[in-house]
Chain A
Amino acid sequence: MAVKITGLGIISAIGNTVAENLWSLENSRSGIAPVNYLDSKRALLVGEVKYSNRDLADHLGIKSPPISRTSLLGLAAAREAWGSNRHTKELRSGIISATSVGGMDTTEQFYSHFLDQNNPDYSVLKCHDSGSTTERIAAELGISGYINTLSTACSSGANAIMLGARLIEQGKLDRVLVGGTDALANFTIDGFRSLMIYDENWCRPFDESRTGLNLGEGAAFLLLENDKSIRFSGNVPICCLSGWANAADAYHQTASSPEGTGATMAIQNAIEVSGLSALDISYVNAHGTGTKNNDLSESTAMINVFGDNLPDFSSTKPFTGHTLAAAGAIEAVFSVLAIQHGLIFPNLNYKNPISETGLVPITELQTQQPVLAVLSNSFGFGGNNSSLVFSVHR
């Protein structure tokens, strides 16, 4: 399998464009800092996009409120990925986004006013449901037809990319924007705090001393095209999405199995779909949230699949924070950048290996690497495990 990727767009804590994100990755600049834009009662470390809602709306030329921050972020990334592509009736175009919070960033403000009986603005509820966040992005971009939203917690973004590839493979669409978006919300911050996996210090994926994650926000989209679409657009493929898989861990609603059952299946199946072998993988962009449970389970899964031949791996979450439904899409863009520029990104904040597995991630930027194929993992609540394989376009 191989679906061509011809466009990228991203907005995250480390930059508002692909170029800015790449610069931060190359210069080990994390975007995680104390809360600044979100109206929060706690001074936690978060990976915020460095724009207020008003600035984002102005920047994007949004005239008609209400619009959720989730839609604003998604639109910024989707517009960059869409670029100067033209609309045409000749091509079946679609958009698949992923979100876990939808318009919760506006709903939680509404609900606070509602509880206080302080003039709640009911109109913002129209942008609460996850599907409406995607419809808004589609409407602003002028896309109609296949418009869909997936919500599988932290694996959502990867699943949106996978679904787009399958629709193209089966000839249902000629081109499709795929990705995910999630705005930071007190709802999710409090949620991860209630699970006692929110690290009040810098998150430390794959480190023995890790105690949890830092949440982030952002969005990323990729444009997938078939040959017919590329003949029309004249776009040059950046690289290919060649493998994908989703599997259920069926172990626990939030925890991953210690054996990494679902993760192992997702990784194995994605590599199998790509037609490559495990030895062909140059780099693994791990899910690596920094929680005790995920990083151990994911390490075990990597050992299950790669044995003694573990490729270079790192988690880029210390740059962006864990952006939930956007994470799979943001890390897909990072995986493409790794191939495009021959880079392997460092796992910031790492000191000592996890005692049970002893795995050591890449901690310094590696340049001029022959990065031919990248595996990107995304694992979520409900035991939802997804893996994608990106490879050079030949």
Chain B
Amino acid sequence: MYINAASTISHQPTFRNAGFSKDIKPLEKSSEIISPNYKDFIDAGLLRRMSKILRMSVTAAKDCLSQANIEQPGAIIAGTGLGCLQDTEKFLNTSLTIEGLLPPTSFIQSTHNTIAGQISLSIGNHGYNMTHTQNTLSFEHALIDTSLLLNEGKDYILTGAADEFIPFLDVAAGQLFPGSAPTLTSAASFFLFSNMKTDSSVAQVRDVTTVGLVQDIDAGIDSFLSDSFLNVSELDLVLYSDITAAGSLDSVAHQYFNGHYHTQSKLIDYTTLSGLYPTNSAFAMHYAVDRIQDNKEIKRVLILNRLNKINLGLTLIESLEA
């Protein structure tokens, strides 16, 4: 399936900034989200009620549509690991502390499908509208759904992923994973996919798979590559995430690819760039697309998602020439 547009709002200068992948550096702990002027994309009255995840998602989605020059996509699919946390926490607080009549807005906007729902509302779209929430594999599942739809004859599918940081996550992470202090971030990435190559196509997704409760990672990677008749040596770049061994040579990616690469420059831990959020493989996809557009030498990129060590996500992205 072809990628006709990509848009990301994150802690990096990704939004409307082609070539960003050349310049970005690993995130500092103190980094903040780089927000566009949301008023340029969303009606002020609606914007006022929208949480961070909704602003980011609706804006990135609309930016994709305008890049691909599509008014109405055939479907809207979102992946989110933790959903609309800001509104969930707000309503939880309200419901535990206030007696009597409660304001409903944060409850209304707490459901995971508010993201895809608000995109459909904001453009008046009546197509298939879906929300996948399989923690670190939510985006990959959204991509698999996209490929099913394209096979069923739907076209121009708007698919993305978003997660938002709330300060409580730092508290919880500190308690659950003492000593780790990850850089937790917010971001939204959306993409416009089509069956056929179009004038705005920038790359393609050759294949995507998920293995939940994975037992044999090497076998999973082997069979994924052999399904596409590829040798490891044909991969020009491997973007991986392996939080249990971030940056260390013990990571699955390093172990698997060590024998095949003499240079480590082909292995990039994307969580150091995106920060940690459950759907950051969507950031990796935009990063891959940007690298492919920037450098003709890069034809095949594998995204190896091991953010949660019990799961494996694999996505193969190719240049149009590959």
B192-225 interface bits toward A, Cβ cutoff 8 Å, 1 = contact, 0 = none = 0000000000000000001111110000000000
Asked if A381 and B148 make an inter-chain contact with CB atoms under 8 angstroms apart, the answer reads no
With A382-B114, A383-B121 as known contacts, state yes or no: A247 contacts B109, CB within 8 Å.
Answer: no
- CA distance in complex: A252, B117 (Å): 9
Question: Cβ of B107 < 8 Å from any Cβ of A?
Answer: yes
With A144-B215, A149-B133, A191-B107 as known contacts, state yes or no: A247 contacts B92, CB within 8 Å.
Answer: no
Asked if A132 and B135 make an inter-chain contact with CB atoms under 8 angstroms apart, the answer reads yes
Asked if A152 and B211 make an inter-chain contact with CB atoms under 8 angstroms apart, the answer reads no
Partner of B103, one of A151, A194, A247: A194
Tell me the residues in window 214-238 of chain A with beta carbons closer than 8 Å to chain B beta carbons: none
Please report the total number of A residues contacting B with Cβ < 8 Å: 60
Asked if B113 and A170 make an inter-chain contact with CB atoms under 8 angstroms apart, the answer reads no
Chain B residues closer than 8 Å to A366, beta-carbon distance: none
Asked if A382 and B133 make an inter-chain contact with CB atoms under 8 angstroms apart, the answer reads no
Q: Which of B16-24, B34-42, B124-132, B248-256 contacts A (4 or more CB under 8 A)?
A: B124-132
Question: Cβ of B97 < 8 Å from any Cβ of A?
Answer: yes
- CA distance in complex: A172, B101 (Å): 48
B163-203 interface bits toward A, Cβ cutoff 8 Å, 1 = contact, 0 = none = 00000000010011000000000000000000000000000
Q: Which residues of B contact A (CB under 8 A)?
A: 76, 81-83, 91-97, 101-104, 107-114, 116-118, 120-121, 123-135, 137-138, 141, 144-145, 148, 151-152, 172, 175-176, 210-215, 278, 310
With A381-B113, A382-B117, A383-B120 as known contacts, state yes or no: A135 contacts B212, CB within 8 Å.
Answer: yes
* Total A-B residue contacts, Cβ distance less than 8 Å: 178
Question: Cβ of A62 < 8 Å from any Cβ of B?
Answer: no
Asked if B211 and A131 make an inter-chain contact with CB atoms under 8 angstroms apart, the answer reads no
Chain B residues closer than 8 Å to A60, beta-carbon distance: none
A140-176 interface bits toward B, Cβ cutoff 8 Å, 1 = contact, 0 = none = 0001111111111100000100010011001010000
With A134-B134, A149-B133, A151-B113 as known contacts, state yes or no: A254 contacts B108, CB within 8 Å.
Answer: yes
Q: Which of A6-14, A120-128, A336-344 contacts B (4 or more CB under 8 A)?
A: A120-128
Asked if B95 and A187 make an inter-chain contact with CB atoms under 8 angstroms apart, the answer reads yes
What does DSSP make chain B's interface, helix, strand, loop or mixed? mixed
- CA distance in complex: A190, B107 (Å): 9
Question: Cβ of A33 < 8 Å from any Cβ of B?
Answer: no
With A111-B92, A248-B126, A253-B121 as known contacts, state yes or no: A144 contacts B214, CB within 8 Å.
Answer: yes
Partner of B134, one of A131, A250, A253: A131
Chain B residues closer than 8 Å to A247, beta-carbon distance: 126-129
| 5 sample A-B contacts, Cβ–Cβ < 8 Å, listed by A number | A144-B214, A151-B113, A170-B151, A250-B120, A254-B108
Chain A residues closer than 8 Å to B148, beta-carbon distance: 166-167, 170, 172
Chain B residues closer than 8 Å to A261, beta-carbon distance: 126
With A145-B211, A253-B121 as known contacts, state yes or no: A187 contacts B92, CB within 8 Å.
Answer: yes
Partner of A100, one of B92, B111, B123, B132: B111
Nearest Cβ distance between residue A131 and chain B, in whole angstroms? 4
With A382-B111, A382-B114, A383-B120 as known contacts, state yes or no: A147 contacts B125, CB within 8 Å.
Answer: no
A261-273 interface bits toward B, Cβ cutoff 8 Å, 1 = contact, 0 = none = 1100100000000
With A381-B108, A384-B113 as known contacts, state yes or no: A149 contacts B97, CB within 8 Å.
Answer: no
A179-206 interface bits toward B, Cβ cutoff 8 Å, 1 = contact, 0 = none = 0000000110011011100000000000
Chain A residues closer than 8 Å to B211, beta-carbon distance: 144-145
- CA distance in complex: A223, B133 (Å): 21
